[in-house]
């Protein structure tokens, strides 16, 4: 029995000593930041406190992605379906967004982070739009990680948005139907000019995509865990990347 427990201890020590292959770091990581509400519920706290705790996790993960030279980090912050939530929770999320951009701006900018957004932000409160656009304008020339905040974002909505704009361009003779291919289509997505995510992480125990980056995730690697987002640490990010580095990515071909 003691040998069994000693073996388990050794396994945990090995997990804590993960060494990443710095020549095989994902260019683009996307995260579905899930589990804030359940984290709060288990502690008999309001759901809004879970969202506040989740902001602390964002700070550490962005910092580590920058240190690892990950080029793009896309954070699923507010979906097109999240408007169905209680109004006080939606209001809190919008307030947290503004607070985050104001409180964290100086440090993010100091660390060369580009603060970008994807999604239809025209539906967000005016103060949110103003802070997002201002943050992007002031950081767009930075050379560090591009942090995409997915706000009022939905994969289906993004695809419809692209289709409508392609049809409009075709009607105006700006493009010909014969020229429409995957490359052209991707130019009309919110992620235009960015590589597809190599790795998509979803904490909280859920194992679904939830309308996130539906076009872009065609050959992404997925990593799930039972950890709620507020408890997600740098070591968990390392575990996800380590797992990614030991997968055989064939993209439909054969090695």
Closest CA to 147 of 139, 155, 159, 138: 139
Among the listed residues 72, 33, 68, the one whose alpha carbon sits nearest the alpha carbon of residue 51: 33
If residue 75 lies in a helix (H) or strand (E), which one and from where to where? strand 72-79
Task: Provide the residue count of the chain.
Answer: 255
Query: Hey, which residues does 221 pair with through a beta bridge?
Result: 199
Q: Supply 96's token pair.
A: 């947290």
Using an 8 Å Cβ cutoff, are 207 and 231 in contact? no
- CB neighbour class for 190 (10 Å; exposed up to 12, middle 13-18, buried from 19): buried
Active site amino acids: 34, 82
CA distance 236 to 249: 21
| Dihedral sign, Cα of residue 68, residue 98, residue 45, residue 207 | negative
């Amino acid at each position: 029995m003691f040998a069994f427990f000693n073996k388990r201890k050794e396994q945990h020590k090995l997990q804590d000593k993960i060494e990443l292959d710095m020549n095989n770091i994902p260019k683009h990581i996307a995260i579905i930041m899930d589990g804030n509400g359940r984290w709060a519920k288990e502690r008999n706290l309001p759901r809004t406190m879970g969202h506040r705790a989740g902001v602390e996790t964002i700070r550490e993960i962005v910092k580590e992605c920058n240190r690892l030279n990950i080029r793009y980090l896309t954070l699923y912050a507010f979906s097109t379906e999240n408007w169905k939530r209680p109004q006080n929770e939606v209001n809190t999320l919008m307030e947290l967004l503004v607070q985050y951009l104001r409180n964290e701006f100086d440090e993010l900018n100091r660390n060369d982070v580009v603060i970008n957004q994807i999604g239809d932000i025209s539906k967000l409160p005016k103060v949110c739009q103003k802070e997002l656009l201002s943050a992007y304008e002031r950081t767009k020339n930075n050379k560090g990680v591009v942090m995409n905040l997915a706000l009022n974002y939905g994969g289906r909505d993004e695809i419809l948005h692209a289709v409508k704009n392609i049809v409009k361009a075709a009607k105006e003779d700006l493009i010909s139907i014969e020229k429409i291919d995957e490359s052209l289509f991707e130019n009309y997505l919110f992620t235009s000019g960015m590589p597809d995510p190599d790795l998509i992480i979803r904490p909280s125990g859920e194992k679904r995509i939830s309308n996130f980056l539906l076009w872009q995730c065609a050959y992404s690697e997925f990593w799930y865990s039972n950890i709620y987002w507020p408890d997600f640490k740098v070591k968990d990010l390392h575990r996800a990347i380590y797992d990614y580095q030991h997968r055989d990515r064939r993209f439909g071909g054969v090695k």
